[in-house]
Amino acid sequence: MPDESILHILRGFESEHDLYIHPDIPHKKLYNARMSCGIEPDHEVLALINCTTLGSAKDCLVFCPEAVYFHNNPALARPEAGRIEYATFANRTFTAHKSYVHLDFNQIVHVANSSLSAETVLSLLTEIRASLTPEEEKPSDSDSRPARGEARTAVFPPINVVKFPPYCIGCLADEPDRELTMATPHRRKTDRFGMWLGGAVGATLMKMQMEKKGKVLEYEIPICESCLDTIRNNDIKMLKDTGMLQSMLTPTEFFSREFRKGYVVMHFRNARYAREFWRINEDFVFTTIEEADGVIEGDEGSEEEGERREVGIPLSREELLERMPPHCPEMKWYVQPNIPAKKLVKALNAHGLELEQGKVLALGDATTFGSAKSGCLITMRGVHFKNPSLGEKGYIPFEGIERCEPVGGFPTHKIRIWTKDGSKETIECEEFKGVRGQLCDFLNWVGGVAQALVHGSWSATS
């Protein structure tokens, strides 16, 4: 690829603070980038992106005439350094995550400490790849997004019905003799301090918290001994002695996996393996988190039959509302279509949810002054809650409810929910305690319907 073509694309991003373009690259930053990435002194550098907090550029993404080089802080991302030729761009799938860009083939560049967001770096790399691709090979608008079942990225909620194909995830050998145990937080709930802290330390704290509360779900991934040795050699810090992958960000030679917004995000290197994974799990897997949110929370349509299919339980919106505690604003319990818009907007923002307001069936306001920034939200799929005392947030799908009952006493009235994974959750409901008995009856009923469906014993007369 001609140097001027790369420079032309790079100059389109020159307003970014941490992007330095030849000939205006500071000498010290250039020296540090060359040393950390292993670039020869006489090798031309077209531009670099600083990925350090203090601006040393020892962690960076460097653009040269024939390849890009990267270096990561080893405490934040693996592998530490690498080189990617432009000739291989056409065979790679780039994806942006919160703190890094996945470059495919077990390579990532960590950009959390750069002024450029992961999405901006992704746009830059995508433009370079597009300029490399001949016109006849460029996808048309109609096929710019991979079809379901053809994508190498799979997004799914942490549920135990998801299975991996019975082939080696590395070489696709039949009847592999080993298994990787992939540990993932069981429910859409994370340790708030660990999430706020971020980085490797935050991920470790989140993992410890999940294991302490017994909320880790394990998936068995078939793999042969040879491919397992490859992972051990290249990513030994990602594996325990038992072959268990850690519960947060995990890039390996054959796939990468992370936990984002309550979903497991898998990216497979092998397209054939990805297609088989999709075939086995087509009812539970999505191409993006946005698509998963839309289906799980009923955003993909409002007709009754569509809702029955999408939410995973054979109940319509009307059936759920009929069984729910009735609208009672005096007790700070609000049911559609009478939920105050201002309260609902504040509640959705406080819970961090991006749902259409009409998809929330009921709202319990647990705040003293009626802001609705804590309390619970009932959707077509489950119950979201945020407690006022410590600000703890959580989500319980209907199929995860074992039983629930009201709990009284000082300093606040509560609803306690026992889940199918053996843990307990508490929803503080002092301000809407007047409906907690009816709410418990509703949750016990809908949890029973969801479980009966899972076991095949539900009928319309149940």
Which tokens hold the place of 133? Answer: 């691709």
* 114 pLDDT above the threshold of 70: yes
pLDDT tens digits, residue range 191-234?
Answer: 445 544 455 555 555 556 555 554 567 788 998 887 887 776 65
Q: Is the peptide bond before 79 cis (omega within 30 degrees of 0)?
A: yes
Would the CA dihedral through 445, 450, 455, 459 be positive or negative? positive
DSSP 246: P
Fold match, 3-137 / 304-454: yes
Fold classified for 304-454: PH-domain like (2.30.29)
| Helix, strand, or coil (residue 302) | coil
Hey, which residues does 48 pair with through a beta bridge? 20, 62
Task: Provide mean pLDDT across the span 38-49.
Answer: 92
Residue 170: how many other CB atoms lie within 10 Å: 24
Cβ proximity of 67 and 195 under 8 Å: no
Give the residue, 105 or 177, on which the prediction is more confident.
177
Instruction: Specify the pLDDT at position 378.
Output: 92
Q: How far apart are CA 68 and CA 47, in angstroms?
A: 10
Q: How far apart are CA 134 and CA 206, in angstroms?
A: 45
Q: How far apart are CA 200 and CA 50, in angstroms?
A: 20
Instruction: Specify the pLDDT at position 159.
Output: 73
Task: Provide mean pLDDT across the span 267-273.
Answer: 82
Which tokens hold the place of 100? Answer: 């890094």
Q: How many residues are there in the chain?
A: 462
Q: How far apart are CA 346 and CA 8, in angstroms?
A: 45
Q: How far apart are CA 422 and CA 424, in angstroms?
A: 7
Give the residue, 2 or 99, on which the prediction is more confident.
99
Question: Which one, of 383, 215, 363, lies nearest residue 297 by Cα?
Answer: 383
Choose from 48-62, 257-271, 344-358, 422-436 the range with maximum mean pLDDT: 48-62
Cβ proximity of 254 and 227 under 8 Å: yes
Residue type, 36: S
Among 1.10.3210, 2.60.40, 2.30.29, 2.60.290, name the CATH number for the domain at 3-137: 2.30.29
| Helix, strand, or coil (residue 58) | coil
Mean pLDDT of the chain: 78
Task: Provide mean pLDDT across the span 168-190.
Answer: 75
Q: How far apart are CA 269 and CA 253, in angstroms?
A: 8
Alpha helices in 169-198 (DSSP H): 192-197
For residue 51, with 0-12 CB atoms within 10 Å meaning exposed, 13-18 middle and 19 or more buried, which class applies? Answer: buried
Which tokens hold the place of 429? Answer: 């409901």
pTM for this entry: 0.41
**DSSP code per residue over 306-328:** HHHHHHSSS--HHHHHHHSPPPB
Q: How far apart are CA 79 and CA 73, in angstroms?
A: 9
Above pLDDT 70, what percent of the chain? 73
Q: Parse the chain into domains and list their residue ranges.
A: 3-137, 153-294, 304-454
DSSP 119: H
Question: Which one, of 427, 442, 357, 325, lies nearest residue 386 by Cα?
Answer: 427
pLDDT tens digits, residue range 147-163?
Answer: 555 567 888 877 777 88
Close Cβ partners of 387 (under 8 Å, ≥ 6 residues apart) = 366, 374, 393, 426, 427, 428
